[in-house]
Amino acid sequence: MREFVRRSLWEVVPRDHQQTPTALRRRQLVTIGFVLVGAVVLGFSLRTDPGSSDFYLATLVLAAVWAVGAFTSGPLHLGRISRGEGLRRPVLSPILLGVLLVAVFTVGALVIREVSLADPLVRQIRSVLRYTEQTPIALLVFVTALNGIAEELFFRGAAFAAVTRHPVTVTTVAYTVATLATGNVMLSFAAVLLGVVVGLQRRASGGILAPILTHLTWSLSMLFLLPLIYL
């Protein structure tokens, strides 16, 4: 387990991802610009009813903003992690890490459900989950997966590469602030833990593949598990 954590989250593998001052400045300006555009789209989505067609349209537009911003900012890298004496693409380890996160959040959700002081939070979670009952599961899976990929492309791709100091902290805070705007406390708490984990993956591997796989494993699993726990 210690070796797994070290390779997945802590050991920074060699990479040659240098940016010229001009390229870095361009990436920073593009990232800031798309953050502002994303804030406008997010603000619009908050004025729509969850579960409505306008809400899902706004969600898809926001995913497009994050993805276009990421690719426009500059080169993105898949990343590698150490394996013995060599390097390999991270595939199995980020999925396993996502499963561990699912286990942690599932235990937390079960505990929250049984704590009377958390009743307001439970009611909020249930109110959000009830909207999912009105939406075809295929659409929910598609939107969840698309947004997970787009968020990692932008926050652990463009934004991470645009930050010169403490990128794990900065991108986690930025991701949490964006999630806070939804008004969902549970999602905001999740954004902190998830942001730290995928940020460490990004720092260790030098790319977006590991964060994307962990994010997808976690988000798609919780999409099915939370209704079982709270509804």
For 70-125, the pLDDT digits (tens) are 999 999 999 998 876 778 899 999 999 999 999 999 998 888 888 876 788 788 77
pLDDT-based confidence at residue 141 (cuts at 50, 70, 90): very high
Asked if 149 and 76 touch (Cβ cutoff 8 Å), the reply is no
Q: Which of 1-10, 23-32, 36-45, 83-92 has the highest mean pLDDT?
A: 23-32
State the Cα–Cα distance between residues 124 and 119, nearest whole angstrom: 9
**Residue that wins the pLDDT comparison between 92 and 128:** 92
Q: Give the tokens for residue 208.
A: 């977006």
Least confident of 55-59, 76-80, 180-184, 208-212: 180-184
Mean pLDDT of the chain, nearest integer: 87
Residue whose C-alpha is closest to residue 155's, from 67, 44, 50 = 67
Which amino acid, one-letter code, is at 125? I
Side-chain-side CA neighbours of 11 within 13 Å: the count stands at 16
- pTM for this predicted structure: 0.92
The sign of the torsion formed by the CA atoms of 82, 83, 87, 93 equals negative
